[in-house]
Amino acid sequence: MTGVFSGEPHIVLENVGKTFENGAAAVRGLSLKVYRGETLVLIGPSGCGKTTTLRLVNRLVEPTEGRILFDGENTLDMNPDRLRQRMGYVIQGIGLFPHMSVEDNVAVVPRLKKMPRQAVKETVARCLDLVGLPIQAWGKRWPRELSGGQRQRVGVARALAGDPEVILMDEPFGAVDPLTREVLQDELLALRERLGKTIVFVTHDIHEAMKMGDRVAVMKGGELVQVGEPLALLSRPADNFVADFVGADNHLAMFSFVKVKDVPPRTENLPVVGERATFGEALDLVERTGIQYGRRRSVYVVDASGRVLGYADLEGIRGKADPVRAALKPAPSVAPESSVHDALLRMVENGVINLLVLDENRRMKGLLTFGDLNRLIENQRRGEGCTSIP
């Protein structure tokens, strides 16, 4: 999903302003487009107007200036209840109805939309399944019987149940512990890949913003300061405020949202041999690749169909004519979709400086070297961002 969204805008805010009755301006001159299928994160310090902006979209707050187009139609011309039924809504306090069972909570919007009884049942079962709470086991439970993380999952299921075109999320994971939050974030990312919904996501946690957002909009004092892809904000912050806020010099933060495939890993001149190769052949190859190996040189061994069997340590060689298969060990690897942060962890855990990148069929997609990570940081420092992202 990463990349520039050239698609049509789904929600358009045109010069939108909101001044409350007491004269306080919560949002000023805000122009912003949310493209179909993207996740746009609104972030800023408290009081910056990010929540108000979200509530302007579903008209829980009405704009005093400008206009908001949803699917090309001015939201002020639409029935607000209908509009909201087309947008899922998840808030920090979750707001599950304590007097309704889990399944009744999820059924609210389908019933508001007057879906037939059987269809409501199927929708509820499907949505609870999506968030990992099968209806047979969880449907009849009460919200008070659930943990914080489970409640949040029900909140997401409830937002999905109306088959909304857009999902609005206001600090949805703000009230759960950090571990659960990570899990919920990963689940939402996976769901997003599957469902392809447009998401507007409010948070004050820059880490979360960078992880979840295709694009991130930074707000301050009711105004939009900068909107762009996470790496663009890091490498080309519009001003000192954005630079401080995103932590432009914080490489570890960057590691948690750059994916391995975006580094990108090296794909040529790899130390790979067939299963019949000998140590002698392997040593020759290793010298030619010019890769740094740290303390122990090694080669990866693939079978005839290209599947990786493991790696062979070349330091404990017995004879140059022996087959490398004799020294085969499972190779530490990482998926192309994993974060660089995870890859780095795996390197440290296994005491290696190169990491195999494997797809789900155990085919080699490349080699992530420590040098690649160094280059990423260097590019970052020079303001070039990630090489594969324009």
CB of 81 to another protein, least distance (A): 4
Q: Report CA Rg, the chain.
A: 25
Binding site for another protein (CB under 8 A): 58, 60, 80-85, 89, 91-101, 108-109, 112, 142, 158, 162, 168
Q: Which is nearer to another protein, 81 or 360 (CB)?
A: 81
Q: What is the distance between the terminal CA atoms of the chain, rounded to a whole angstrom?
A: 14
Q: Which is nearer to another protein, 167 or 324 (CB)?
A: 167
CB of 82 to another protein, least distance (A): 7
Q: Which is nearer to another protein, 108 or 285 (CB)?
A: 108
CB of 54 to another protein, least distance (A): 10
CB of 95 to another protein, least distance (A): 3
Q: Which is nearer to another protein, 27 or 109 (CB)?
A: 109
String of DSSP letters for 281-331: HHHHHHHHH----TTS-EEEEE-TTSBEEEEEESTT-S-TTSBGGGGEEPP
Give the sign of the dihedral formed by CA 39, CA 40, CA 43, CA 49: negative
Phi, psi of 166 (to 5 degrees): -135, 145
Contact 144, 100 (CB under 8 A): no
- Taking the C-alpha atoms of residue 375 and residue 287, their distance in angstroms, rounded to an integer, is 22
Contact 271, 291 (CB under 8 A): yes
CA 199-15-40 angle, to 5 degrees, is 15
Contact 311, 299 (CB under 8 A): yes
Contact 231, 385 (CB under 8 A): yes
Q: Which is nearer to another protein, 167 or 216 (CB)?
A: 167
Q: Which is nearer to another protein, 94 or 233 (CB)?
A: 94
CB of 222 to another protein, least distance (A): 21
- Taking the C-alpha atoms of residue 246 and residue 249, their distance in angstroms, rounded to an integer, is 9
CB of 63 to another protein, least distance (A): 17
CB of 206 to another protein, least distance (A): 24
Enclosing H/E stretch for 104: helix 102-106
Q: Which is nearer to another protein, 117 or 276 (CB)?
A: 117
CB of 91 to another protein, least distance (A): 6
Q: Which is nearer to another protein, 81 or 268 (CB)?
A: 81
Q: Which of 195, 183, 193 is nearest to 157 (CA)?
A: 195
CA 26-30-31 angle, to 5 degrees, is 160
